[in-house]
Structure 1
Amino acid sequence: MTTEAASGPILLVEDNTVDLDLALRAFARRDRTSPLAIEVARDGEEALAFLPRWESGHPTPAVILLDNKLPRVSGLDVLRKLKTHERFRRIPVVMLTSSTEDEDVRTAYAAGVNSYIVKPIEFGKFIEVAEQIEVYWCTVNHSQR
């Protein structure tokens, strides 16, 4: 295990503009020596459109933050597609969602999600979650890709 930061961006897949703004502001407020690259997909179809880009050499993300309830293609369908892809199945995926339903949690873990986090409503709590995600998934835990 290494402690240097992962080189890829964070892919944030979020359709709710308020939650998207909250997440982007939380990551921007984090005090760091180098800026954190964040790419955004606003629905499941946009998220899946990254696969051909990654196959052609675009940097793969250090972690994907994936909402569950997305238009066009659900977060669970995006997760399943990623986890069955030969090259990209090792990219860590964190389900960052408002759903607290036990069935949603079980289904996400059965599909291969690496972590399931319920979105906090308060900005201060969201900053804490952003910090924990960044520290763990982008610095401490490097997947073998």
Structure 2
Amino acid sequence: MSAPPPAVRPILLVEDNPADLDLTRRAFQRSHLVNPLLVARDGQEALDFLPHWRAGEPLPLVVLLDLKLPRVHGLEVLRQFREDPVSQALPVVVLTTSDEDADIDNAYRLGANSYILKPVGFENFVGVAGQIELYWCALNVPPRS
């Protein structure tokens, strides 16, 4: 008897812009992404996942984190994720429009696994979504816990 297949872990998208949220959803649908997409519409909503993860809910496979967020800035979300033992090793990809050197440097200093500039245009965004899916959902081996 073989073991049942592991549950497909979700992707957490932290995005406040409704147009970018819709674009991301459509791009992942076109890429036939099988991972469910959880959405936090601001930094506080992203941080609100921490108690659930501490209580044993499955961690997302990867977090796609915008920086320019209401209530709690994306860099603060990243800092708190890295300080919490439950989410310390959680892969976080910054997906943002900011190409400011300070944002890039601070994101990596705080432990971002990758920093991707949001592409302009749907087809370009689909291409990036496909690359994110290929690497983070198919090729990368995530932390087991």
Residue deviations 1:6-61 (CA, integer Å, cap 9, x gap): 831000000011111100110011135xx320000000000000111111222210
Report the identity percentage: 54
Conserved in 2, the CA contact under 8 Å of 1:105 and 1:116? yes
Q: Displacement, 1:142?
A: 1.6
Conserved in 2, the CA contact under 8 Å of 1:5 and 1:138? no
1:92 paired to 2:91: yes
Q: Within 1, Cα distance between the matches of 2:83 and 2:53?
A: 15
Q: Displacement, 1:5?
A: 9.1
Gap change, CA 1:137 and 1:102, over 3 Å in 2: same
Aligned amino acid, residue 37 of structure 1: P
Aligned-CA RMSD value = 1.7
- Asked which structure has the greater CA Rg, the reply is 2
Conserved in 1, the CA contact under 8 Å of 2:13 and 2:37? yes
- Give the TM-score of the pair, scaled to structure 1: 0.91
Conserved in 1, the CA contact under 8 Å of 2:11 and 2:38? yes
Aligned amino acid, residue 66 of structure 2: D
Conserved in 2, the CA contact under 8 Å of 1:26 and 1:127? yes
In structure 1, stretches of 5+ residues that fail to align are none
Conserved in 1, the CA contact under 8 Å of 2:97 and 2:118? yes
Name 1:55's counterpart in structure 2.
54
Name 1:12's counterpart in structure 2.
13
In structure 2, stretches of 5+ residues that fail to align are none
1:31 paired to 2:12: no
Q: Within 1, Cα distance between the matches of 2:132 and 2:88?
A: 19
Conserved in 1, the CA contact under 8 Å of 2:8 and 2:35? no
Alignment of 1:1-145 (within 5 A): 7-31=8-32, 35-144=34-143, 145=145
Q: Displacement, 1:139?
A: 1.6
SS state of the match for residue 36, structure 1?
coil
Q: Within 2, Cα distance between the matches of 1:55 and 1:142?
A: 21
Residue deviations 1:71-130 (CA, integer Å, cap 9, x gap): 000000000000111121111000000001111100100000000000011100111111
Q: Within 2, Cα distance between the matches of 1:55 and 1:29?
A: 33
Conserved in 2, the CA contact under 8 Å of 1:10 and 1:37? yes
SS state of the match for residue 73, structure 1?
coil
Give the ranges of 4+ consecutive aligned residues of structure 1 lying more than 6 Å apart after TM superposition. none
